[in-house]
Every structure is written in C-alpha cells, then in structure tokens.
Amino acid sequence: MKYLSMLIFALAILGLAFAPVRVLAKEGLAIILVDVQGDFTTAHKGSLAVPNSDEAYLKEVAKATEALKKAGVPVYATQDWHPANHMSFASNHKDKKPFDTIKLEDGRTQVLWPAHCVQGTKGAEILVKPDLIAKVIRKGMDPKFDSYSGFMDDGGVKTDLDKELKSAGVKTLIVYGIATDYCVKATALDALKEGYKVIVIEGLCRGVADETSKTALEEMKQRGAQVWPSVDLGKIKNL
C-alpha cells in the first residue's frame, strides 16, 4: 500500500510537470489568424504574395500559434474565399490590369487585384495545421464586395466572427497574419469598434509595403490597439 501511494504521488508530480501552462477561456482571450493563405505568400509563389512571407515566416506563425493553442488560447482563422467572378479581380474588367483602381457605382474606389484565393483552389488553403484552428471564418464570398475585415465586407454584411467570439465570451483578441496594411488593419479596427481589446503582433504580420504597413500600425495604435513586437506568454497570462 505504501509503494502504491508513492507511485500515485510520483505520477501526479509527473503529470503536473508535463501539463501545459493554461491561459484560459475565463480570461476571454482568442487569436485571430488573418488570411495566412497560399496566394498571399512568397513561400507558395502566390498570385498576390506579400514581401517576406517565406517559409521562415510561416514557421514563425506556426510555432507561435501552436504555443498559444497549447496555452489554452483558441484560434479563429479568417479565410479569403472568393468566387471566380469576384469584382476585385482585374481579370474580370476589360482593359484593366492588377493594381489599377476603378470607381464603383456607390462612389467607392476599388483596387483591382490579381485573381487570388478562389474558392476550392490550393492558393486559398490556410497554411496552419487544421487541428490548431477552432473555427474558420470565410469572407469575400459576395462577388460584388471586397472584404478586408474578418468581421464584415465592404458592403457592411457581417461574417459570423463577432457572433462566434461573443458566444465564447471572448473580450481580448491577439491579431496577426497577412496583410498588415489591409486585412490585419481592417480586422483590428473593426474588432475595436465591436468593443474588443486588441493586441497586434507586429513580428507575425507581413504587409504589402513598408510605408503603408507603418501607417497602418500607427493607426491601429491611435485607435486603441496594443502593438507587440512578438508573442509574450508572460504578458498574455497577466492580461
């Protein structure tokens, strides 16, 4: 009996030693992984690849996401999921080329992009292991509207993201991904509007251009977001 008790005690100690430190749902914390998809990365020779989105970057994202997931932080991933006839594709406009701009009927200016993240294509795939992701939020499915934010498209139609987060009791969001100056910025700003506390991880973001990325980060800070250079589990546990 004495040896059995000692064995049970030893197993309990080992269990504690190998148990992950958890930062949990009672903290109301979640990750928004923004558009880490093949077509946006140089690693996958994407049609709309942003600079420095190479294999080293993808490994950083995977490592940080896995560490946060192990610490008990759920991961929500946004995914551009365009139909082939999407209005933002230059190929769908006569005599237009990628990065031209057009005026829409409602007065908005639209940048025309190379066709990217078309539904069901390899370039639309999220480049993080599926078992790390609690929920995928698809956006950009309406051919008439672009959709930079994970919360809503340019026409104001909401995705399920806010509903999913609120139902899970999430109050603080850790945001990173692609691209700093477009979808990361739009997602972070909409999150602030919806009342979330927002932390943007600069080192896990990649932008279209240095100058616009710098401006985007400044705007996010001015609107109330925190910008961290990297993931800091110690700081996260104390949020």
- Tell me: the pLDDT tens digits for 172-216? 999 999 999 999 999 999 999 999 999 999 999 999 999 999 999
User: Domain 24-82+126-237: what homologous superfamily?
Assistant: Isochorismatase-like (3.40.50.850)
149 C-beta neighbours (distance < 10 Å), count: 25
Distance CA(29)–CA(128), nearest Å, equals: 19
Could you state, in order of their start, the residue ranges of all structural domains in the chain?
Answer: 24-82+126-237
Q: Let me know if 35 is a catalytic residue.
A: yes
- Segments of the chain assigned E as strands: 29-34, 75-80, 101-103, 109-111, 135-139, 172-177, 197-201, 226-228
Distance CA(88)–CA(188), nearest Å, equals: 22
Q: Let me know if 235 is a catalytic residue.
A: no
- The 8-class DSSP code of residue 206 comes to B
Q: Let me know if 139 is a catalytic residue.
A: yes
What is the per-residue pLDDT for 235?
A: 85
- Provide the phi-psi class of 106: left if phi over 0, else alpha when psi is between -120 and 50, else beta: alpha
Higher-scoring residue by pLDDT: 165, 11: 165
Which tens digit of pLDDT belongs to each residue from 134-163? 999 999 999 999 999 999 999 999 999 999
* Nearest alpha-carbon partner for 136 in 160, 101, 168: 160
Q: Are 60 and 203 in contact (CB under 8 A)?
A: yes
Q: Is omega for the bond preceding 179 within 30 degrees of 0, making it cis?
A: yes
The active-site residue out of 35, 153, 162, 181 is: 35
| pLDDT category of residue 105 using cuts at 50, 70 and 90 | confident
Distance CA(70)–CA(89), nearest Å, equals: 38
Please give the biggest Cα pair distance in the chain: 85
What is the per-residue pLDDT for 107?
A: 87
The active-site residue out of 69, 80, 117, 183 is: 183
The active-site residue out of 69, 117, 139, 146 is: 139
Which positions ≥6 away from 17 have C-beta within 8 Å?
A: none
| pLDDT category of residue 233 using cuts at 50, 70 and 90 | confident
The pTM of this model reads 0.88
